[in-house]
Structure 1
């Protein structure tokens, strides 16, 4: 009986040891499973990042357009964010223009503009004005009323005129070399075959016309060429 009791005690102790060993192995297995889960998650993240880089390596535009520039430095190392190509949406254009900082105070958002392209005038409005001045000029952007006009091209150079004031029903004269930009100056008026010097008062001006505030009447013919060489001559004879 004592031997049997001893054997039972030994067997019970062995059973307890095996139970503890099983519990320890189960905890170790659970830790291994968690570690494998972390490893799988990291590998999946790495695979996702590599797949994203692989997709980015295949350059494609997110919107329709025309390829305007490509990095032609073959073999160079490219970092993330470096431009490889540029695509322009040629279905719509906006205007980037510069103006002397002398006229910066007269420039405002929503001012009308006229963009002249090979004799064609396109109208629009000022949308954005740069707050900084670089090399004496201010940069501003204009939105055209018709940004899809067939005459528009990417990087096309054109004359941009900002309209700061408008007058209606006034006497005007075609702008030309005769106009020196002052408020009053002499001009030559054609009368009876002679060009007679007369002092004329001017108002505002634009790229095509000059406002006449005094000294001329509607219908009078004026010499619009450069007459600096005859500024002191009161009268000239006009020959056909």
Structure 2
């Protein structure tokens, strides 16, 4: 299992993902679930992945291979004319990988994977998409300004309650860390370290990219502070009058 979030604010796009792919009694594995492609001054594209690890790695590897020799390997994620066409490319690649992975007679959903795709190209707005295992996708809007994939239920309430499109990057980072901390404390299959990336509107470059481990002082402050705040909020509520 995993947990990834892509969030759209007025200032740009913010992404965060965990790195755990397996959590058994004696087996814990981590893999990066955030992939970035960029052409300085032209585009930055970020892809978050969840689901079958072989599928997600194959999709990323195909997209990456075709981007490095794009003159001979069309289509390339670095040459698509729009973010919409990029989402179509990723969706088609997902369908291609799953179709090739499932043996005849075996259910293709065993190889399923979902993705969050976001970025900005020169001359267009920042855009954010959710791509499903079937290869189809939807785009973020004012009504749906963020997407989650993986283990979504524990971290969603704080996003719904506290999201504001006018948030700064610093405020958004705080919001996402609370969301991830709530998920980590509720589900062993989501784990540190976390990967975080800020993409500022119209900059066509990465504003900040950071890996956050369990020893990160700010993450520990947020985790402990949120626990204390919840306990204090609970104690402040009136007791049952029965």
Q: TM-score, normalised by structure 2?
A: 0.24
Structure number with bigger Rg: 1
